[in-house]
Amino acid sequence: MTQSNLTLSILPDTFAICRLDQDAQIPDWALTGGVFSITRTRDELSIVRPQRNVPKETKCERGWRCLKVEGPFDFSVTGIVASLAVPLAQAGVSLFVISTYDTDYLMVKEENLDQAILVLSEDGHKVTADG
């Protein structure tokens, strides 16, 4: 598989990307079911969750949609994220990336989802609904 013919699936949820203080405890709402990502650095605690699970008062960027790159991929494969990020950047579509052991997840703002699908499709990638 080359980086020009990746398959991505659109996850059904709308996500929030949240920021908590670096020393905050991981809240219970961050750990329940579904897709989520938790990253702690010396500067912050970052949590990505379906936004329906995030309390309203939490500092977040809401309204993100997620495209899963269908993997898994060996760690020796290079250029996967670049092959997706470059055409999106050239089209002015901002993204947030989560990488896991098996694959990558691209987050784009909900209002940019149709444009992202079009850009990625025109670049040779296949985008499908999750399911």
Q: What pTM was computed for the model? A: 0.90
pLDDT, position 74: 83
As a whole number, mean pLDDT of residues 106-113 equals: 98
First-last CA distance in the chain: 22
Say if residue 121's pLDDT is above 80.
yes
Please return the burial class of 72, using the count of CB atoms within 10 Å of its CB with bins 0-12, 13-18 and 19+.
Answer: exposed
Give the SS3 label for residue 101: coil
Phi then psi dihedrals of residue 110, to 5 deg = -55, -40
Alpha carbon 127 to chain centroid, angstroms = 14
All structural domains of the chain with their residue ranges:
7-129
Maximum alpha-carbon separation in the chain = 44
Q: Which of 28-37, 57-66, 85-94 has the lowest mean pLDDT?
A: 28-37
In the CATH scheme, what is the code of domain 7-129? 3.30.2130.10
pLDDT in tens, 27-60: 999 998 789 999 999 999 999 999 999 999 999 9
Stretch 77-87: mean pLDDT, rounded? 92
